[in-house]
């Protein structure tokens, strides 16, 4: 209300100043949202990378020890069958994990999704009505 009263008193120039101030405020808010999205994505990716590397190391060590245990346990009776079974299992597990990783990479949410949604709302509100 006070802005409209000032705009009426100051004329066109005052109205343009108020409009410019509003536009700067909108851009500032959107840039803050964008920077928050970037920071959130960076933290998410860093956490995911560290957890993935630690999990990968632990799983690799466990798998190697399990393979050695199974091979030693069946060394006298069915060593080739044990080694063939372990090979088939690891190849199947690896292929399944590659397919899962590809699916996750394709279906992840878009970067800056919240920022883009807010910008779309702003654009819709700024369009002239019917």
Residue 86 sits at the vertex; the CA angle it makes with 82 and 88, to the nearest 5 degrees, is 115
Supply the pLDDT for residue 23: 85
> What is the spatial distance between Cα 54 and Cα 61, in angstroms, rounded to a whole number?
11
Residue of 125, 113, 98 whose CA lies nearest to 22? 125
The structural domains of the chain, with segments of one domain joined by +, span 2-126
Supply the pLDDT for residue 13: 84
Asked if 41 contacts 111 with a C-beta cutoff of 8 angstroms, the reply is yes
Quick one: tokens of 43? 């933290």
Supply the pLDDT for residue 6: 54
pTM over 0.85: no
pLDDT averaged per 10 residues in sequence order, the chain, 130 residues: 55 84 83 85 86 87 87 86 85 87 79 73 70
Supply the pLDDT for residue 3: 55
Using CA atoms in the order 16, 22, 27, 29, what is the torsion angle rounded to 10 degrees? 170
Asked if 9 contacts 97 with a C-beta cutoff of 8 angstroms, the reply is no
């Amino acid at each position: 209300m006070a802005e409209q009263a000032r705009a009426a008193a100051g004329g066109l120039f005052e109205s343009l100043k108020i409009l410019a101030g509003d536009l700067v405020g909108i851009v500032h808010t959107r840039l803050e949202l964008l920077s928050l999205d970037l920071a959130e994505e960076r933290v998410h990716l860093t956490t995911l990378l560290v957890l993935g590397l630690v999990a990968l190391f632990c799983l690799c060590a466990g798998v190697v020890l399990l393979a050695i245990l199974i091979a030693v346990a069946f060394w006298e009776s069915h060593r080739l069958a044990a080694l063939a079974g372990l090979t088939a299992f690891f190849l199947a597990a690896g292929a399944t994990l590659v397919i899962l990783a590809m699916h996750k990479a394709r279906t992840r949410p878009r970067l800056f999704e919240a920022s883009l949604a807010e910008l779309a709302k702003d654009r819709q509100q700024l369009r002239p009505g019917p």
